[in-house]
Structure 1
Amino acid sequence: MSTTQSERLRGLLEPLVHAKDLDLEEIEVSRAGRRGLLRVIVDSDEGVELDACAELSRAISEKLDETDVMGEGEYVLEVSSPGADRPLTQARHYERAVGRLVKLQLNEGGELITRIIAVDEDGLDTEVPGVKGRKATARRIEFADIAKARVEIEFNRKDKKEEEA
């Protein structure tokens, strides 16, 4: 049974990522002209600092230099955090988005913009913002009912540090 390049990379890189207390979210291998491109996306409950990405990039580069997993050709290595428009696909993504406004595409059709209040193994407790002076309403949404989800960018959102002060 042969393993794909992505599986080999995941097996090689996951221990390095976990050693930095990060989660390996995605590995993407593609072509960028004549060179290969290896994009490694990492995250954590506290987010990812630029210094952590740089440090992990050096560790990954050293490990890749010891192996032939990227082949003989040149490649570019990018290590970064997921970015604001990343889809929410796993329970930990929703947990990290507690307090944030999200846009949900529902399996039954339609779309909902709501704030995540709590997450459990089955779904989300949310608060749908009121419109035109109306009160917000609580709504329970099961993971099975969600087709797609993304965090909505809020330019006037208070962050946790401001709320604690």
Structure 2
Amino acid sequence: MAAGRSPQDDGVRTVVEPVVSGAGLFLEDVRLVRAGGATVVRITLDLPQDEVGSLDSDRLGEASRAISAALDEADTVPGHYTLEVSTPGTSRPLTAPRHFRRARTRMVRLTLVDGSTVSGRVVDVVPAADAAGDGAGGEAVVLDDGSRVALDQVRKGKVEVELKRLEDDEAGAARDGEEG
């Protein structure tokens, strides 16, 4: 059992993980929370780490229906429960290499262990330079200015929301939909 998870969380994870994998998604988190006399089952899904972009609502809805059916069939959660299926969103802290891979093409702000900050657009996550030559260098995030930041030097990382980029993307999509 992972730290912070209950045996009941793990039981639900066992039921929904094959469903989520079968949908081509990644199971980020499973939490069961007591809310008064009821149970809320919170499932967080994400795209696989090699995909760029966001999980769309149609795909999330399909996965949610399949998860609900699997939980009902397995009867893992006793009594009535409310199922909440969501994505991590941009507020998720970047704490694992897969989070940085999922942030490719996005602007990020990194606070380093020495207290300095670095910002830039994530291009890739690659093996970090290993000065000792023993392969124990970990991984580094590559930013759009060509700089590399070893992930073990990042104390805190977060995606920066870009309203201007969203407006530009929406305008481009509207133009693409026009007939000529």
TM-score by length of 1: 0.80
Which residue is equivalent to 1:132? none
Verify: 1:96 aligned to 2:107, yes or no: no
Q: Secondary structure at the match of 1:42?
A: strand
Number of matched residues?
152
Unaligned runs of 5+ in 2: 128-138
Q: Could you tell me how far 1:90 is from its partner in structure 2?
A: 2.4
- In the TM superposition, residue 141 of structure 1 has moved relative to its aligned partner by 0.4
Paired position in structure 1 for 2:12: 9
Going by fraction, where is strand more abundant, 1 or 2?
A: 1
Distance 2:122 2:56 in 1: 24
Structure 1 consecutive aligned stretches of length 4 or more whose deviation exceeds 6 Å: none
What's the counterpart of residue 134 of structure 1? none
| Paired position in structure 2 for 1:143 | 151
Question: How far did residue 112 of structure 1 move?
Answer: 2.5
Instruction: With the length of structure 2 as denominator, give the TM-score of the two structures.
Output: 0.74
**Aligned AA (2:164):** N
Q: 1:22 corresponds to which letter in structure 2?
A: L
**Aligned counterpart, 1:125:** 142
1:13-162 correspondence runs (5 A): 13-44=16-47, 45=51, 46-71=53-78, 73-121=79-127, 122-127=139-144, 138-157=146-165, 158-159=168-169
The worse-fitting range, judged by mean Cα deviation, of 10-19 and 106-115 is: 106-115
Shift of 1:57: 1.5
Aligned residue in 1 for 2:131: none
1-structure distance, mates of 2:114, 2:81: 43
Secondary structure of 1:123's counterpart equals strand
CA root-mean-square deviation = 2.4
Deviations, residues 6-52 of structure 1 (Å, cap 9, x unaligned): 22121111110011111111112112232111111111124212122
Q: Percent identity of the aligned residues?
A: 36
Letter in 1 for 2:69: E
